[in-house]
Structure 1
């Protein structure tokens, strides 16, 4: 059953909706607006205790120059790129092949493999902190970019496989059979028939996985030490001082760290929305 359209609501409910929606939006945006204002606030105003008022002195250039030039933020950003892009590409490549196999091949144990992927998504990753950290130490992958890539690849592939398997399952099976009848190999069917049809799903999944990996802080903190392999999230946390915290610098670094995820989303917004609604209707 679908919710009643707003046009058919009673007049009093429509008025309440129109009044409450802008209020809820402002309340939701207040923390972000506070971070933006703080990022351009001068250090002198913070020393004077002006945390919430409108700044009288702006330090836009000084704050962002300090974050980008005087701190190793660009090094952290480069580490984040080295970690995120290979993780996203490899996770989607592996999961698309695994999803294709689970969706089209009725082999023995298909249900058990799918159940394993589903069960893995319900395991709280925090309880794996000690075993994963010990494993990276034993394998010599602790505090390395390769270790973080391997970790994210392992943990994201399960979710991606479940995601893509359901999309491929919704495709007309006759298209796959037609490709096989025409003499195409399984690889050709996968590349030339299945992948073009699930392109919106791949785009939506790329946005989701990119956001997960780029914004990861917990595992980056557990599996790195120092600046060699630390990503951007750890670098922003490192802007906090031992005794005092320059909140203007932390806010500026946080906004810079969030820009790639926001840019990826808006760049692929059309594909993201179509990917989420792909297969929602029939006919």
Structure 2
């Protein structure tokens, strides 16, 4: 029923796996490596059509310095921070309270509410483009960071609620009952008992939501216009010129845009793995 560990495979299958895995990894990393190499390549080499060879002149400081100083990348970066941080905090805060209620309280419609959260995750986001954009225009939030914050909080809360509800459901209910017997309020149970116990799940969820919101391009393009509220994903696309494009600057901007997500994952890697395996075994 469950896949066998690699060390218990047949010798031929194990050898094929060890050969194919590095090949698949290289193929998967090839576009990323191409972007990294292009980001340190000089403009003269690109004009000569040298895209895949090793750089003859490393223009690391020139390209990244130009991307930071000669373009509005820092402004885009600040907008991304203003959008991502409140979105992550808001989505996880609302989802943790909703997950606590759905996993702890028994009331009529509990299952229907849970199904509503689950069904919302299966709605294609593309069909929401026109109504969400029109709503942002009517309420005066179009081309503001608040439009993206509100949308991301609304859209991410459903997935986060389903995620946290399942984790909280696995906690021993005797802890909550004992706290109630001792006279603890529901808010104290939520904040002082449940939240510390699901901290690994919160960390894993925070990384997932941060990565999604930070790398979002579709909604940033739909709900912003110009540079005022544009995040870094739209800013990288704006580096492309009308007639000619400095691909080394675009590549450098792409690396800078992806760097926060990568750094956050490696900084929170232990918590991320612990959160994904939290509650996987009992005993």
Q: Are 2:193 and 1:226 aligned?
A: no
CA distance in 2, matches of 1:88, 1:8: 42
Secondary structure at the residue paired with 1:71? coil
CA-to-aligned-CA distance 1:88-114 (integer Å, 9 cap, x gap): 011111110010001011111111111
User: How do 1:139-150 residues align onto structure 2 when only pairs under 5 Å count?
Assistant: 139-150=139-150
**Structure 1 ranges of 4+ moved more than 6 A:** none
Query: Could you report, residue by residue, the CA deviation over 1:198-239 in whole angstroms, capped at 9, with x for unpaired residues?
Result: 000000000000001000000000000011100000000001
Q: Distance in 2 between matches of 1:19 and 1:156?
A: 39
TM-score (norm 2): 0.98
Root-mean-square deviation (CA, aligned residues, Å) is 0.8
Residue in 1 aligned with 2:7?
7
Aligned residue number for residue 39 of structure 1: 39
- Deviation string 1:123-159 (CA, Å, 9 cap, x unpaired) is 0011000000000000000000111111111111111
Structure 2, gaps ≥5 residues long: none
Matches within 5 A, 1:171-250: 171-250=171-250
Helix, strand or coil at the partner of 1:143:
coil
User: Match for residue 50 of structure 2?
Assistant: 50
TM-score between both structures, scaled by the size of structure 1: 0.98
Residues 249-264 of structure 1 mapped to structure 2, 5 A cutoff:
249-264=249-264
Q: Tell me by how many angstroms 1:57 deviates.
A: 2.1
| Superposed CA offset, 1:46-101 (max 9, x none) | 11111111121222111111100010000000000000001101111111001000
Q: Distance in 1 between matches of 2:111 and 2:5?
A: 40
Aligned length: 283
Q: Partners of 1:88 and 1:173 in 2: how far apart?
A: 28
Q: Following the alignment from structure 1 to structure 2, what is the Cα–Cα distance between the partners of residues 208 and 80? A: 16
Distance 1:92 1:8 in 2: 41
- Could you list the runs of 5+ residues in structure 1 that have no partner in the other structure? none
